[in-house]
């Protein structure tokens, strides 16, 4: 029923959580449920919502989280299926832009309108590059090099 009913996936998640009371044994079943979201044909928006609930229902020990996230990132790349909604992407970009603008102001002084516009209109890949560049930038122009 999972392909046509997202609640079936949530029931499977609950069953897996109950079947694996030792959190150390939950990594594989949790990942398999998330992998199934693609196989079942759920679109990114529905998949994100279900994934959030699976995260909540099948908690992992802190030391296993990086391994799980690495597997999810690989799955995302493999399937070209983003587990980030468009709203989450906008919030991420705005957060990165605000962080970069604060860093520029702290390092180089007041930020002019053109720089503010450039940063606020940029998207994740450029913002991530600029956030790294500022660490060793000697001038504002160094921040924006590719």
CA 16 distance to own-chain centroid? 24
* pLDDT score of 78 more than 50: yes
What Å distances lie between residue 76 and 37, 70, 84, 124, CA to CA?
A: 11, 10, 10, 17
- Among residues of the chain, what percentage have pLDDT more than 90? 32
If you average pLDDT over each of 17-31, 49-63, 93-107, which comes out highest?
93-107
Q: Parse the chain into domains and list their residue ranges.
A: 6-79, 86-143
What does the longest C-alpha to C-alpha distance in the chain come to?
A: 59
**Reported pTM:** 0.49
Rounded mean pLDDT, 38-50: 81
What Å distances lie between residue 20 and 16, 44, 57, 59, 62, CA to CA?
A: 6, 27, 11, 10, 16
CA angle 91, 94, 99 (to 5 degrees): 125
- 89-125 per-position pLDDT tens digit: 788 889 999 999 999 999 999 999 999 999 999 988 8
């Amino acid at each position: 029923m999972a392909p046509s009913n997202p609640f079936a996936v949530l029931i499977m998640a609950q069953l897996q959580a109950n079947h694996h009371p030792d959190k150390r044994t939950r990594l594989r079943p949790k990942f398999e449920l998330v992998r199934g979201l693609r196989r079942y044909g759920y679109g990114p928006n529905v998949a994100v919502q279900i994934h959030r609930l699976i995260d909540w229902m099948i908690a992992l020990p802190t030391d296993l989280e990086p391994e799980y996230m690495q597997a999810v990132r690989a799955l995302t790349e493999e399937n070209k299926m983003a587990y980030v909604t468009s709203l989450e992407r906008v919030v991420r970009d705005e957060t990165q832009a605000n962080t970069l603008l604060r860093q520029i102001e702290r390092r180089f002084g007041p930020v002019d309108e053109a720089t503010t516009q450039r940063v606020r209109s940029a998207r994740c890949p450029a913002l991530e590059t600029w956030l790294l560049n500022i660490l060793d930038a000697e001038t504002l122009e160094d921040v924006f090099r590719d």
